[in-house]
């Protein structure tokens, strides 16, 4: 019912991703606890408070959380004046010291994705991911980063145990072949550099990689075809046309 993932981006910020399927009345409280615990876990004893990491809490929920009709909600902390209604901002020294423009940049930032509220119309790459989370399907025109890998996992899930074992065995052998090829290419690049032939090597590597990618698609298609996988599924997995698959 619950999946938790913690990642760190190249700015050193923490991203807590939680997927929740069943109803939890205290889920808002759990979101708060999750970010608080993450902050304390990543702050070493004796470190100054200025070392507290920025945390993004991304919550993918498949139940009706709270009252609201949108499918993406953002929550962040701001300090507003009770009388002047102005926003409290960091000082100039704080801006320079912590590299921030607004106070909320320090505090945890929350995102709630209510999957079931999504109308199935993807208007941007984030919507493409939400479509996948809701439908377990990926349209050909989707371009969101990471969906290619997700599509491969979807294909694996649709295979039988025997088909999956054969596919994974093939990929393991393919990884070994690639490691040998890359080692040879590395030696070739070094030798080419010493002989002043970088451009020729780069061209050869590019051509070899393009041919290798096409051959890998063909090899995968052959294996799936031998296992009785339908042509439409093979076409989605490899990018080959139905005519190309029939000729294999």
pLDDT computed for residue 201 by the predictor: 43
Structure tokens at 121: 């119309």
First and final CA of the chain: distance in angstroms? 43
Question: Smallest Cα–Cα separation from 155: which of 172, 144, 177, 171?
Answer: 171
Are residues 237 and 152 in contact, defined by beta-carbon separation less than 8 angstroms?
yes
Q: Where are the domains of the chain?
A: 2-117, 159-247
Are residues 39 and 52 in contact, defined by beta-carbon separation less than 8 angstroms?
yes
pLDDT computed for residue 46 by the predictor: 87
Q: 77: Cβ–Cβ under 8 A, 6 or more apart, which residues?
A: 103, 104, 107, 108
Q: For 195-208, what is each residue's pLDDT tens digit? A: 544 454 455 445 54
**Tens of pLDDT, residue by residue, the chain (248 residues):** 565 888 889 899 999 999 888 888 999 999 999 999 999 999 988 899 999 999 999 999 999 999 999 999 999 999 999 999 999 999 999 999 999 999 999 999 999 999 999 998 898 988 998 888 888 788 888 888 877 777 666 665 555 666 556 655 655 665 655 565 555 555 555 555 455 444 544 554 455 445 556 666 777 777 777 777 778 777 877 788 888 888 87
Ramachandran area for residue 239 (φ above 0: left; ψ -120 to 50: alpha; else beta):
left
pLDDT computed for residue 197 by the predictor: 44
Alpha-carbon gap, residue 140 to 105, rounded angstroms = 37
Decide: residue 167, CB within 10 A, 0-12 exposed, 13-18 middle, 19+ buried: buried
Q: For 96-116, what is each residue's pLDDT tens digit? A: 999 999 999 999 999 999 999
Question: Smallest Cα–Cα separation from 160: which of 170, 168, 148?
Answer: 168
pLDDT computed for residue 160 by the predictor: 61
Alpha-carbon gap, residue 24 to 76, rounded angstroms = 22
Alpha-carbon gap, residue 17 to 104, rounded angstroms = 20
Question: Smallest Cα–Cα separation from 104: which of 89, 86, 84, 82?
Answer: 89
Q: 9: Cβ–Cβ under 8 A, 6 or more apart, which residues?
A: 15
Are residues 52 and 106 in contact, defined by beta-carbon separation less than 8 angstroms?
yes
Q: 149: Cβ–Cβ under 8 A, 6 or more apart, which residues?
A: none
Are residues 191 and 240 in contact, defined by beta-carbon separation less than 8 angstroms?
no
Q: How many CA atoms lie within 13 A of 148 on its CB side?
A: 4
């Amino acid at each position: 019912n619950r999946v938790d993932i913690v990642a760190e981006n190249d700015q050193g910020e923490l991203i807590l991703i939680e997927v929740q399927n069943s109803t939890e009345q205290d889920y808002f409280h759990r979101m708060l606890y999750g970010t608080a615990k993450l902050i304390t876990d990543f702050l070493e004893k004796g470190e100054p408070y200025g070392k507290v990491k920025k945390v993004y809490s991304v919550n993918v929920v498949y139940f009706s959380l709270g009252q609201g009709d949108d499918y993406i909600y953002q929550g962040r902390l701001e300090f507003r004046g009770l009388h002047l209604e102005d926003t409290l901002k960091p000082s100039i020294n704080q801006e320079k010291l912590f590299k921030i423009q607004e106070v909320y940049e320090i505090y945890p930032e929350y995102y709630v994705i209510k999957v079931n509220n999504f109308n199935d119309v993807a208007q941007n790459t984030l919507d493409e991911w939400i479509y996948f989370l809701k439908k377990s399907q990926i349209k050909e025109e989707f371009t969101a980063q990471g969906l290619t890998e997700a599509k491969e996992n979807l294909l694996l899930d649709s295979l039988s145990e025997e088909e999956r074992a054969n596919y994974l065995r093939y990929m393991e052998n393919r990884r070994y072949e690639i490691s040998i090829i890359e080692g040879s290419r590395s030696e070739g690049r070094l030798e080419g550099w010493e002989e002043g032939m970088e451009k020729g090597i780069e061209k050869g590597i590019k051509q070899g990689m393009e041919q290798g990618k096409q051959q890998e698609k063909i090899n995968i298609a052959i294996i799936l075809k031998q296992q009785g996988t339908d042509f439409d599924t093979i076409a989605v997995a490899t990018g080959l046309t139905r005519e190309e698959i029939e000729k294999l």
